[in-house]
Amino acid sequence: MSLWTKALARNFPSNVSAFYVHPGMVISNILVDRKSVRGRIIAATLGRCYRSCFEGAQTTIHCCVAPGLEKNSGSYFFNCHIQDKMKIQNEDDLVERLWVQTNLYLNNHEGSSQTCEIIYTVDTMWTNILLSVLVIILIIFAVYFCCCVSAALIRFILEPTIALCNCTTRLDGKTALVTGGNSGIGFETAKYLAKRGARVIIADINNAETTVANIIQSTDNPNVQYIHIDLSKFSSIRLFADKFNKTVDQLDILVNNAGCLMIKKYTTEDGMDLIMQVNYLGPFLMTKLIMEKLLKSPQCRIVNVTSSVYTKASVDFEDLSGSRTRNFFFRYANSKLCVSLWTKALARHFPSNVSAFYVHPGMVASNILVDPKSVGGRFIHATLGRYYSNCFEGAQTTIHCCVAPGLEKYSGSYFSNCKLQDKAKLRNEEDLVEKLWVQTNLFLNDYEEFNQT
């Protein structure tokens, strides 16, 4: 096009002036229909930064109407000004050759219009593909940016600071049991209890032999072992308790850390909602079956990991299995409310040598929702992980309630950020605590009797 313009200026008399112009970076309909969905997306993104069609037409209008441009025939204009472009090598020869060859081509090829149409179609196809890729990249970047900003705002509004457990208490001669200790917050809890000299037993659904070896190597404490348990199966919990009671004489610290959060609803082989069984019913039964070992300790502690979302939940005593609740958030929140009320019941129903606490680990980018090795997990860790607490920070309140001296007087209380928290009491909380304690025991007893028959 540029060389042809120069040829026009050269091959026609002085009353013919020719110019070639660059309109600038303009969002026009040359690539896509602005009324289409893709066109609207492009206009909403690139259109805010690029020129409008009115602005893009100004140089063309200038060359049409400005006086005295005849002497610049064959020149290049941009932004309503003549531009000094570096000459292409052998430009004069290229201009003349293109003029001759184009005329010969059009005279000798009747199918030129079809050829041009094919060339235009292929060129447009590749342009549209590249444009689509650009739009997808922009959308992904926008989603990533929004996720990062939202995560940062929520994190700094709700949890502006992160406290670390500064207590130096040793646990030599004590035995600790940590459920879900194979990864995440549970792993950090188990490691730091072992570092303080405790004998640590990791109870997990996944084989934790590698984890045990890592903890032993990093803490120089050989008293770390693994026992299999699947909290989604009552039969597995009973097998675990039987093995545990035969091999452990006394339990000083119990950390009910294991939990799950599944968006899709799953029902266990026992007929329970998976979230409710893993987060509440399973730990309740396990603790009940090994309580004899806790009572043998001069001063034992039970630390139940919950979540601050429990304040948004409710208890349906007609549906302790959680089968009726469909929304994943409320299934999770309800299970954590039950854990919180159960903790208060433990503090109420057992002697003073048993202290129970429920803790909120904070906003932690752990593997409770997704596998960190999956694509979704990597995306979440790349966004939330930059602003939320890591698993080490998330374990600090749990560790604090395990080792800090003088907490016995706060048995049944809620801790977050290594501090006692004053939570507004639920309506009829005392009645809820007692009723949940009685109803859960009855529920599990009835289930066992039903299975035996």
Q: Just list the catalytic residues.
A: 332
Using CA atoms, how far apart are residues 388 and 192, in angstroms rounded to an integer? Answer: 21
Beta bridge partners of 364: 389
Helix (H) or strand (E) holding 108: helix 91-108
Q: Which two tokens stand for residue 14?
A: 């002085």
Contact between 191 and 182 under an 8 Å Cβ cutoff? The reply is no
User: Residue 288's closest CA among 339, 237, 250?
Assistant: 237
Contact between 186 and 257 under an 8 Å Cβ cutoff? The reply is yes
Region label for 421, one of left (φ > 0), alpha (ψ between -120 and 50) or beta (otherwise): beta
Contacts of 434 (CB under 8 A, 6+ apart): 345, 348
Contacts of 8 (CB under 8 A, 6+ apart): 16, 18, 74
Helix (H) or strand (E) holding 179: strand 175-179
Using CA atoms, how far apart are residues 52 and 47, in angstroms rounded to an integer? Answer: 7
**For the chain, percent helix, then strand, then coil, each to nearest 5?**
55, 10, 35
CA count, 13 A, side-chain hemisphere, 282: 35
Torsion of CA 342, 160, 376, 368, to 10 degrees: -20
Cα dist. 395→60, 284, 422 in Å? 67, 21, 20
Using CA atoms, how far apart are residues 144 and 152, in angstroms rounded to an integer? Answer: 12
Cα dist. 30→4, 92, 128 in Å? 22, 31, 11
Cα dist. 389→143, 144, 148, 362 in Å? 21, 19, 14, 7
